[in-house]
Structure 1
Amino acid sequence: MKTLTTTEELAQFCELARTKPYVTIDTEFLRERTYYSKLCLIQLAVPDHDGDDAVLVDPLVGDLSLEPLYELFRDTSVVKVFHAARQDLEIFFVEAKVFPEPLFDTQVAAMVCGFGEQVGYETLVRKIAKQGLDKSSRFTDWSRRPLTEAQQKYAIADVTHLRKIYEFLAAKIAENGRTHWVAEEIQILTNPETYTIRPSEAWKRVKTRTTTPKFLAVVRELARFREGYAQSRNIPRNRVFKDDALIELASTKPRSMQDLGRSRLLLREARKGEIADGILAAIKVGTECKPEEMPRVDTSREKLQVNQALADLLRVLLKAKTESSGVASKLIATASDLDLIAAGERDVPALSGWRHEVFGEEALRLCEGKIALAAKGNSVKTIRLN
């Protein structure tokens, strides 16, 4: 197998790929010690070519620009095929603000085709390509060089088998008339908002039992500081301070370095220097926040009255639709979706787009008393009511 280490080599392969109907792509990266993923390797493969139809691209060795790859991403005549693309796409979006177009995600397609929820690549290789995978290099350090032969074989297998998987799933989806279903899911993956993390909204990911506006104002400012600091230094947010320390700080509200030193959960490095200064400044801003500017948790949905009997019927209907359509149930509707529908909510993902075709339309009829459910053998049927 060939490893590309120069821009010229990458450009040549991308020119070849632009003559093909699709190219399969995967990446290897590290994120344990950084805020943003560190790209360590890119794997590419094209169909039906004599010679090097699959290559590794090494961004850590030599003088290599990824611009030829980004030009390939922009070429709408070539389908870019990934499996579980979210983390791969985040890398390219952060690096170059570019998304592959058009994009095909075999994990999404597999769920639409009845392979279950969050189906793994290894499962698809076994069921579709009829091959096995050597996963011994799964937890390798991809930043170390040189790569071993086993690492290279492991990496290249992630795009070579993907060709057969893509061809099988694309044909099955077209045959079933579900191309637009996959396209709707892909729109989420190629939406910049999916990968944009704003420090001002970081507090919403912090789990806390206390939801009073005064407390949340301090949580918001601490989370804002932590996120901004982690982004600017490219370090994991937990290396600044962890969530449990953030909650402790929001509760105790230290006002001096001496107060900060009494924290039980704060890392030693955070008790001095820029981090300590940032913590104290954030607490000051949070405690001085005006009432009208304090954050509030949206509890409107918590007050909804769920018709539990209706929710149970919706679960039965979902199971029936899952079996008849062959689509993973969690891809159609979550348990939370069903409870919201049973409480009268209609702004629910399960009631729009392709989900409306599969489940939403009948779910609304069930809520309106226009259909009933009946068991017939091992299956459930819907019966229209006058």
Structure 2
Amino acid sequence: MTIQYINNPDQLDALCQLISQQPWIALDTEFLREKTYYPKFCLLQIASPDWVACVDPLAISDLTPLLEAIYNPKIVKVLHACRQDLEIFYQITGKIPGPIFDTQIAAPLLGFQENPGYAMLVSSFLNINLNKAHTRTDWSERPLSADQIQYAADDVIYLCKIYTLMCEQLEKLGRLDWLNSDFELLNNSELYQISPENAWLKIRGKNKLTGKQLSIMQALTEWREQTAQEENKPRNWLLQDDFLLELAKLQPITLGELSKIRNMSERTVNRYGKVLCELVATARQRPPKPFSEKERSSKKTQQHEAILDVLSAVVRIRAEENSLNPVILATRKDLEALLFDDEDCLLLQGWRYNMAGRELQGLLQGEFVLSLKPDTVVISKV
């Protein structure tokens, strides 16, 4: 298959015509973000079963016609592990180009492990071992070599073939429609924007901090996220997570105190020292944001463990009925999330909710009961 390398508007218009005629297209992106907060969009690969193209966004200043073609709601966009790819589209337009089909999300319904890598799918479906020669390529460098372009194009060429085979197998199993609500969740814009005020929730070790320390860590993390966004720098270039925790514990309020902290660079003190000290001083005087119920309930009792055992039994039953590995349906952590009312629990979403989550939730709420027979467990409504 000849690869079209698109780097001028005339070629782009012709590609848009091809896209408009397709019921679905495969998409992939190449980007860099080692030195930036936001991904730098370097290459877009697009394919159908009949053609493949690599679009150079660094050479074409106006991608509007292409975006309009891709955002056509009648065309399914096929990707693998699509979150970072969709983040680029969201960064450009503020919207997600649905409808989406993510092969990583679909794969467990065909017996694969949770979140399988793309190389695993290519090997399993096509018996091809991916070439890793350009894994570390700087995709912002121009010109790209023929080998680099082929490497990039191969991802969507294989993705087309995998998608076709996946749909055939899912259709045979009657599971293709199970994925609709999972894919619909990918349109949620909150997945692609990080709120600075909630960035502290991702910091490991926060549960060990005292009240004042937690308040300081929250203030520093919010400042770091906002500053990283404004300056378009990786957040860890400003302050690493373990250093945020150290500052929260030591609570420096003067430049002298700050500069004496081990591994605190002179550059950081000179550039951000004053604001860091002000943040610490202010945060010490206010209560921290509260933990969620999930965080507060992280310590389980023996009664909790017994409940989780019962829920696990139901998961095993429903997984066996549907020829799935129980771990694909729900892990112990997923059941803990359900028990402690975590709204992000996978069992409250998509096919997992329909297969087991609704039932498990009903058991916890007293709407269902379990009874035993010699050879089975019976789940019935109260």
The residue that corresponds to 1:23 in the other structure is 25
- Asked if structure 1 preserves the Cα contact closer than 8 Å seen for 2:113 and 2:328, the reply is no
Question: Across the two proteins, how many residue pairs are aligned to each other?
Answer: 371
Matched AA of 1:336: K
1:265–1:339 Cα change, 3 Å: same
Deviation at 1:363, TM superposition (A): 4.1
What pairs with 1:2-81 in structure 2 (closer than 5 Å)? 2-48=4-50, 53-60=51-58, 62-81=59-78
The residue that corresponds to 1:280 in the other structure is 277
Q: 1:135-180 CA distances to partner (integer Å, 9 max, x unpaired)?
A: 2212222222222222222111100111111112123333433334
1:132–1:281 Cα change, 3 Å: same
SS, match of residue 156 in structure 1 = helix
Measure the CA separation in 2 of the matches of 1:344 and 1:259: 41
The residue that corresponds to 1:370 in the other structure is 370
1:237–1:103 Cα change, 3 Å: same
1:179–1:169 Cα change, 3 Å: same
- Asked if structure 2 preserves the Cα contact closer than 8 Å seen for 1:73 and 1:98, the reply is no
Deviation at 1:300, TM superposition (A): 4.3
SS, match of residue 26 in structure 2 = strand
- Asked if structure 2 preserves the Cα contact closer than 8 Å seen for 1:6 and 1:64, the reply is no
Structure 2's unaligned 5+ residue stretches are: none
Matched AA of 1:232: E
1:180–1:268 Cα change, 3 Å: farther
**What is the aligned counterpart of 1:154 among 129, 151, 156?**
151
Deviation at 1:105, TM superposition (A): 0.8
**What is the aligned counterpart of 1:201 among 198, 202, 211?**
198
- Asked if structure 1 preserves the Cα contact closer than 8 Å seen for 2:319 and 2:325, the reply is yes
**What is the aligned counterpart of 1:264 among 255, 262, 265?**
262
Measure the CA separation in 2 of the matches of 1:96 and 1:365: 41
1:384–1:90 Cα change, 3 Å: closer
Matched AA of 2:15: F
Deviation at 1:122, TM superposition (A): 1.8
Query: CA RMSD, aligned part only?
Result: 2.7
1:384–1:19 Cα change, 3 Å: closer
Measure the CA separation in 1 of the matches of 2:160 and 2:318: 30
- Asked if structure 2 preserves the Cα contact closer than 8 Å seen for 1:333 and 1:350, the reply is yes
1:214–1:230 Cα change, 3 Å: same
The residue that corresponds to 2:82 in the other structure is 85
- Asked if structure 2 preserves the Cα contact closer than 8 Å seen for 1:372 and 1:382, the reply is yes
Measure the CA separation in 2 of the matches of 1:308 and 1:356: 22
Measure the CA separation in 2 of the matches of 1:373 and 1:138: 55
Moved more, 21-30 or 260-269: 260-269
**What is the aligned counterpart of 1:114 among 100, 107, 111?**
111
The residue that corresponds to 1:378 in the other structure is none
1:318–1:268 Cα change, 3 Å: farther
Measure the CA separation in 2 of the matches of 1:145 and 1:118: 33
Deviation at 1:253, TM superposition (A): 1.7
- Asked if structure 2 preserves the Cα contact closer than 8 Å seen for 1:248 and 1:265, the reply is no
Structure 1's unaligned 5+ residue stretches are: 376-380
Deviation at 1:327, TM superposition (A): 4.4
Deviation at 1:117, TM superposition (A): 1.4
1:266–1:327 Cα change, 3 Å: farther
- Asked if structure 1 preserves the Cα contact closer than 8 Å seen for 2:179 and 2:351, the reply is no
Deviation at 1:26, TM superposition (A): 0.3
The residue that corresponds to 2:98 in the other structure is 101
The residue that corresponds to 1:350 in the other structure is 347
1:96–1:109 Cα change, 3 Å: same
Percent of aligned pairs sharing the same letter? 33
Measure the CA separation in 2 of the matches of 1:269 and 1:113: 52
The residue that corresponds to 1:235 in the other structure is 233
- Asked if structure 2 preserves the Cα contact closer than 8 Å seen for 1:213 and 1:296, the reply is no
Measure the CA separation in 2 of the matches of 1:150 and 1:90: 27
Measure the CA separation in 2 of the matches of 1:8 and 1:285: 57
Deviation at 1:223, TM superposition (A): 0.8
* TM-score (structure 2 length as normaliser): 0.87
Matched AA of 2:166: L
Measure the CA separation in 1 of the matches of 2:372 and 2:362: 9
The residue that corresponds to 1:250 in the other structure is 248
- Asked if structure 2 preserves the Cα contact closer than 8 Å seen for 1:372 and 1:385, the reply is no
* TM-score (structure 1 length as normaliser): 0.86
1:297 aligns with 2:299: no
Measure the CA separation in 1 of the matches of 2:355 and 2:196: 38
Measure the CA separation in 2 of the matches of 1:194 and 1:242: 23
1:197–1:331 Cα change, 3 Å: farther
Q: 1:68-120 CA distances to partner (integer Å, 9 max, x unpaired)?
A: 22202321121111111111001111122121121111111112222221112
- Asked if structure 2 preserves the Cα contact closer than 8 Å seen for 1:117 and 1:328, the reply is no
